[in-house]
Amino acid sequence: MLQTSESLSRLGTESAFDILARAQTLEQSGKNIINLGIGQPDFKTPEHIVEAGIKALRDGHHGYTPANGLPVLREAVCNDLHRRHNVKVDPKNIVIVPGGKPTMFFSILMFGEPGAEIIYPNPGFPIYESVIKYSGATPIPIEITEENNFALCADTLLSLITDKTRLIIINSPANPTGGVTPREEIEKLVVGLEKHPNVAILSDEIYSEMLYDGRQHVSLLEFPQIRNRLIMLDGWSKTYAMTGWRIGCAVWPDQLLEHITRLCINDHSCVNAATQYAGVAALTGPKDDVKRMVHAFDTRRKLMVSELNKIAGFRCADAAGAFYTFPNIEATGLSSKEAQDLFLNDAGVATISGTSFGHLGEGFLRFSYSNSISNIEEAIDRIKRVL
């Protein structure tokens, strides 16, 4: 029997991938499955981005690049951050990584160890809690509530900080809830954090271009008083429908740059060159496709929230960002996991149990509206029939 490390037994997973596999198995056995579980845009990567990747390969960009990313790409990221958030960032503080996930993995490993505490949203993206546990640190959940429209409550978060807190993780717009934290709450948080200068902040802003009803994204980069300990995670996966290309980036503070560069060199050396050129084209090219995708998500979101609210036992808050809704299903009498399995097996609709995003997700289900209007309508009809 092989003896693997004890820490490995503490590593969790992202159930969305399990559900995807189960849905595919059912499809192979001839069942029609509508996938509302998936956390990726159902659009293709815009053509000019694909072409830039192909051109880079044809032009012979086949070798290693600097571990922190191509200079031309880091420059493009800074220009884009300036355009979107009106902030100045030096390209030396940008580190390009293979997706959004590596930034969270490396940040948590940098601060997590036995005895340390890391605060993270629950329900929240499952990888936060998984990697915190893997690191040996104690995960301290901040409850994200339906009553607060799934926004972060600054006072609650600040009340959880102790002298053991090393890192806090926040995420807006949020997965799985679609919640958006308003400016006044972010400002309150920043004021409170000034009293805790030794706490690092990981702000996961990967859905920052997906907000609806005129809401504006507030980036933590806007606050110079915390920039020396802020890691701002961003990426191409969601905004440019590039989940399979594996590219992401983060703004790192000066004091962590050497650590993150070493972690990248030890882990993956660099992101493949063609993908980085595609990333440049995404940031510097036309934005019409992004606008079209966000507009389509908004139309589906309105339909999905209104239709989910018509299902007996469902109560769905008005999701303000990302491409997820997180209805409360307690009144159906089913647990989250029972509802997930019933809808997958009997209705042919893949959704994800709220508990996949932490124990505080019990009573909820995550629906992604990254699917066509007709499929969303059909899925909701099927759920009604099964219930």
Ligand X SMILES: Cc1ncc(COP(=O)(O)O)c(C=O)c1O
Give CA–CA dist 191/182, Å, rounded. 15
From the CB of 142, what's the least distance to ligand X, in Å?
15
Write out the two tokens for 385: 């029939």
Place of tokens 């209104």: 306
From the CB of 247, what's the least distance to ligand X, in Å?
8
For 364, which DSSP code? B
- The residues pairing with 315 across neighbouring beta strands, listed in sequence order, are 328
Give CA–CA dist 362/142, Å, rounded. 15
179 vs 235, beta carbon nearer ligand X: 235
From the CB of 236, what's the least distance to ligand X, in Å?
7
Give CA–CA dist 116/162, Å, rounded. 10
For 321, which DSSP code? B
How big is the chain by its Cα radius of gyration, in Å? 21
From the CB of 157, what's the least distance to ligand X, in Å?
17
Q: Is 14 left (phi over 0), alpha (psi -120 to 50) or beta?
A: beta
From the CB of 310, what's the least distance to ligand X, in Å?
27
22 vs 246, beta carbon nearer ligand X: 246
168 vs 347, beta carbon nearer ligand X: 168
The sign of the dihedral angle between the CA atoms of 172, 229, 232, 283 is positive
From the CB of 324, what's the least distance to ligand X, in Å?
9
Count the neighbouring beta carbons within 10 Å of the beta carbon of residue 159. Answer: 11
282 vs 387, beta carbon nearer ligand X: 282
Closest of 126, 117, 188, 118 to residue 151, by C-alpha = 188
Give CA–CA dist 113/134, Å, rounded. 9
Q: Which residues of 53-71 are buried (b: 16+ CB within 10 A; e: fewer)?
A: beebeeeebeeebbbbbbe
Give CA–CA dist 161/171, Å, rounded. 17
220 vs 311, beta carbon nearer ligand X: 220
Give CA–CA dist 353/358, Å, rounded. 10
311 vs 366, beta carbon nearer ligand X: 366
Query: Under a CB-based contact definition with an 8 Å cutoff, are residues 289 and 140 in contact?
Result: no
96 vs 158, beta carbon nearer ligand X: 96
205 vs 307, beta carbon nearer ligand X: 205
From the CB of 128, what's the least distance to ligand X, in Å?
9
From the CB of 97, what's the least distance to ligand X, in Å?
9
From the CB of 171, what's the least distance to ligand X, in Å?
5
248 vs 348, beta carbon nearer ligand X: 248
Torsion of CA 295, 298, 300, 301, to 10 degrees: 170
Tell me whether strands 349-350 and 34-35 are parallel, antiparallel or unpaired: parallel
Give CA–CA dist 178/354, Å, rounded. 13
185 vs 204, beta carbon nearer ligand X: 204
Write out the two tokens for 142: 């901040």
From the CB of 381, what's the least distance to ligand X, in Å?
27
Residues of this chain that bind ligand X (CB under 6 A): 39, 99-101, 125, 171, 175, 204, 206, 235, 237, 243, 248
